[in-house]
Amino acid sequence: MDKEDLFDMSADGLEDVMPIKEVFDLSGKVAMVSGSVGLALYVINRLAECGAKVVFGARTQEWGDMAVDALKDLGHTNVAFKQTDVRTIEDCRALVDFAEKTYGPVDIVVPVAATWQARAFLDMDEELYDEVVDTDMKGQYFLIQAAARSMVKAKHGGKVVTIASVAYRGDDIYKIAMMTPYNAAKAGVVGMTKGIAKELKQYGINVNCVAPGGMVTPGAIENCVETVERYGAEWQRDQMGGGSATPVATSPDDMARMILTLCTSVSDFMYGKVVEVDGGSDLSFQEKPWSYTMEGGLHA
């Protein structure tokens, strides 16, 4: 084959490429999210902005009602809240039932709901351990299971985006640590993402994972307050000092945009992948232009 024939093989396919506006168009899709504030709220906003009908569930009715009002103020009329405790399988299934009755079979599920609290390993008690692991891992597992059953019955495929954290790779509070249940739960989320992805591919369901880094959320602030009450001002000073060395997103939308992307056809050829959105927390960035050849370099 000559070069023109080879080029035509490539160029002819351009006619079949989906327009980028359609790639991000979720009109007619039913999405389900766990959580109501912080990252969850931003994910709901982005899904609704792209046309999805969104059902979300969380433990606190007050925050849920406030989220619905805030979203409707932005023009998102197809959003609905149901009080949900993802630590219980019954509530996970009830949220899916509510979604199906409200809008129809589920197309997208993003289990964002999570909790953590810094606590020394030697001080850890069973109650806090269960609270973190049951919310952050078990809750995701069974919410995905319930949503996947809806997708399989509807025979229309779907998108699952699990939420890990850079804590899965052992990252936690700089020079303090104290996040062992969270480390364990988020590592578990990565493992289960890969396992679930292998099983659900046959049904046309893409399962992938986003691992956020540090971000400012109501939950993070609330949890730090509880830790300060336990360990005192010295812990707070060390935590704030170490935090200055860690990239922190001022808006959860930095993460929500990537999560949205994996909910679209962008992820059609992705299975069981982990996308880290962490501001480069594992990198040591160069801070000065040391070049001696380029204008603007220190030694040019």
DSSP class per residue in 233-273: HHHHHHHHHHHTTS-EESSTHHHHHHHHHHTSGGGTT--S-
* Cβ–Cβ < 8 Å for 150, 99: yes
145-165 confidence digits (pLDDT tens)? 999 999 999 999 999 999 999
Residue 249 above 70 pLDDT?
Answer: yes
Q: Which pLDDT belongs to residue 226? A: 84
Residue 222 phi, psi dihedral angles, 5° rounding: -60, -45
Q: Tell me, what's the pLDDT at 20?
A: 96
pLDDT, tens only, 73-112: 999 999 999 999 999 999 999 999 999 999 999 999 999 9
182 is catalytic: yes
Looking at every residue in the chain, the average pLDDT score rounds to 95
pLDDT of residue 264: 98
Percent of the residues in the chain that have a pLDDT greater than 70, as a whole number: 99
Cα–Cα distance between 174 and 242 in angstroms, integer? 5
pLDDT in tens, 35-49: 999 999 999 999 999
Q: Calculate mean pLDDT across residues 165-169.
A: 96
Say which residue, 242 or 286, is predicted with more confidence: 286
Q: How far apart are the first and last CA of the chain?
A: 50
**pLDDT tens, residue by residue, 196-217:** 999 999 999 999 999 999 988 8
At residue 244, the pLDDT reads: 67
Cross-strand bridge partners of residue 275 = 210
Choose, from 174, 182, 231, 292, the residue flagged as catalytic.
Answer: 182
Which tens digit of pLDDT belongs to each residue from 112-155?
999 999 999 999 999 999 999 999 999 999 999 999 999 999 99
Res. 220 pLDDT band, cuts 50 70 90: confident
Residues 98-124 as b or e (16 or more Cβ within 10 Å = b): bbbeebebbbbbbbbbbbbbbbeeeee
Determine what percent of the chain is predicted with pLDDT higher than 90. Answer: 81
| Domain 25-277: assigned CATH number | 3.40.50.720
> Average pLDDT for residues 164-168, to the nearest whole number?
96
What pLDDT is recorded for position 172?
A: 87
Angle between helical axes of 39-49 and 253-262 (0-180°, round to 10): 50
